[in-house]
Amino acid sequence: MPFEQYLKENVLDPLGMDDTRYFIPEEDRDRFAATYNYNRETKELTRMPDTITQILNYYKWPLNRGALGLTSTLDDCQKFAQMLINEGTLHGVTILKPETVKLMRTNQLDDSITERMWLPERGQMGFGINFGVRVAPPIDANENNGVVGEFFWDGGFSTLFIGDPVNDMTVVMFVQLNPYDKIKLHKKFRDAIYGNFVSENKSKTD
């Protein structure tokens, strides 16, 4: 079975993710968001050529990638995130077993692994199966805020999804911005969600 068909029949259709697909038909292309480059020196946005941003989704490719290429909507991504918070089930439809979701949300990196590429800039992070997981609270106000047990991932064009089992919360943010989050929007967004950083060593009466 082609991967695209498997994905549609076993994940997308059961969850009601009707607007998530690789190929965008002609009648829906006016909904496809533009993507922008950010110039750090001039702080200006420039729209990327449509011929670049559309190349994956305006043509039917013989092989669809498992790591990238899907287009979606906020509502569809929210459904997927809520399924993970619900331990694999949404609206009575089970996509994953609870023990599978638990494994996905558990840090798989041993403490001896000190080289963690891009994870440190996202906070006190480990890595589960498919996304980062927070293993310790922020150490200072410069770090991305969040709670231990949170799992998340972000996209190359600065998108973000957060699953927070502690607060029974899912968050999805779409930003079509390249390079990745050079305006530090993720930090501001997380501060808006979780509030300002409070040190664990600071007394509540200070």
| β-bridge mates for residue 173, sequence order | 160
Q: Is residue 57 domain-resident?
A: no
Contact status, residue 20 vs residue 70, Cβ threshold 8 Å:
yes
Q: Is residue 89 domain-resident?
A: no
The secondary element (H helix, E strand) that includes residue 74 is helix 74-85
- pLDDT band at 141; cut points 50, 70, 90: confident
Structure tokens, 66: 């498992």
Q: Is residue 41 domain-resident?
A: no
Q: How far is CA 132 from CA 49, 65, 106, 126, in A?
A: 31, 21, 9, 6
Q: Is residue 155 domain-resident?
A: yes
Q: Is residue 152 domain-resident?
A: yes
The predicted-structure confidence for 165-179, as pLDDT tens digits, reads as follows 999 999 999 999 999
Q: Is residue 55 domain-resident?
A: no
The secondary element (H helix, E strand) that includes residue 39 is strand 36-39
Number of domains comprising the chain: 1
Which residue range(s) make up the domain with 159? 105-196
The per-residue b/e assignment along 6-17, b for 16 or more CB within 10 angstroms, e otherwise, is ebbeeebebbeb
The predicted-structure confidence for 84-137, as pLDDT tens digits, reads as follows 999 999 999 999 999 999 999 999 988 887 777 777 677 788 889 988 999 999
Contact status, residue 186 vs residue 160, Cβ threshold 8 Å:
yes
Number of CB atoms found within 10 A of residue 57's CB = 17
| β-bridge mates for residue 44, sequence order | 39
